[in-house]
A = this chain, B = another copy of it.
Amino acid sequence: MIAATPTPPYYAVIFTSQRRDGDQGYAETAARMLERAQRQPGFLGVESAREDGLGITVSYWESEAAIRAWREDLQHSAARERGRADWYGAFTARIARVERDYGFTQAETSGSANPLR
């Protein structure tokens, strides 16, 4: 689902990964981490897709402080260690400040796809 984010500025963590073969507990942990992230202060939404082994997950946050707090969450830190040890062949995480956005939904001829605006 396209995340319903507020008016910029806000922050995005673009996490791109190549999975190794086999689940090794990945799906269960990923679901638990998503649930946990959604309860973090400053979490705005997430979008995720994986195709041919390449996964892109973009999470949106109110501030860099919110990203830092989620990074320091102990269960999240433990999951990150499993990521390096068992799940990912490679990943890159990029922290970015969203400056502007625009959107489209089929019902409209122009304007924002965002139901919050």
A interface list, Cβ under 8 A from B: 1-3, 5, 8, 12, 14, 16-18, 20, 47-52, 54-56, 58, 83-84, 88-106, 109, 113-114
Contact = CB atoms under 8 A, between A and B. Distances in A.
Contacts of A5: 92, 94
A116 to B, nearest CB: 11
Contacts of A18: 2
By secondary structure, the A interface counts as strand
A54 B58 contact: no
Contacts of A109: 84
Given A12-B14, A47-B56, A50-B51, A105 B93 contact: no
Contact of A14 (B48, B58, B88, B95): B58
